Amino acid sequence: MPSALDQISWVVIGYSALVLLVAAYAAWRWRARPPWLASMCWMLEVLAGIRALAGLAALSGGDRPDSTATHVGYLLVSVLVIPLALSSVRDDEGPWSIGVIAVAVAGVGVVSVRMMMTL
């Protein structure tokens, strides 16, 4: 598989870690979800989307990971998780809503690591 996908995945992993740290700080500092946390999540979503497009383009170009079904599943899940999490806490700015977002962001990070292992 092309190394560009790996590079994007590293960016996604690093950015996920950053969002997690910021979310933990927000939970401790304000005990409420700051509005810019959602903006950071949408940035992560853009990165995941770019990677999904790059991954699908690589697949259509003939590259084959160890398990194509698993790889496509990772690509799709990493794109779907953040919007689902944000929509589920749409009207909730309490501290627990940060936990929901943290679970989704951590999920994207873990999926990214797993995806690199299946390439």
Partner 1 sequence: MTGTPSGPRSGGHQVLLALYALFAVAAGARSAVQLATRADEAPLAYSLSLAAAATYALGWLAIRRAADGSPTLASVLLWVELGGVVTVGTLSLVEEDWFPDATVWSGYGIGYGFVPAVLPVAGLLWLRAQDPERSAGAVTAFRIVATAEAFSWAGLLAGMFAKYVVDAGEQGVQVFGPIHGTVFLAYLVVTLLTWHQQRWSLPVAFVALAASVPPFCTLLFELWADRTGRLATQGASMPKTAEPRA
42 sits near partner 1 (criterion: CB under 8 A): no
Which is nearest to 116 in space by CA: 62, 55, 44? 55
Minimum CB separation from partner 1 for residue 26, in Å?
11
Sign of the Cα torsion 21, 111, 104, 51 reads: positive
Question: What does the alpha-carbon distance between residue 105 and residue 100 come to, in Å, rounded to a whole number?
Answer: 9
Residue 5's CB: how many other CB atoms inside 10 A?
Answer: 21
Answer for which of 81, 109, 112, 115 binds partner 1 (CB under 8 A) is 81
Q: Which is nearer to partner 1, 7 or 67 (CB)?
A: 67
Minimum CB separation from partner 1 for residue 96, in Å?
5
97 sits near partner 1 (criterion: CB under 8 A): yes
Interface with partner 1 (CB under 8 A)? 28-31, 67, 69-70, 73, 77, 81, 84-85, 87-89, 91-92, 94-97, 99-100, 102-104, 107
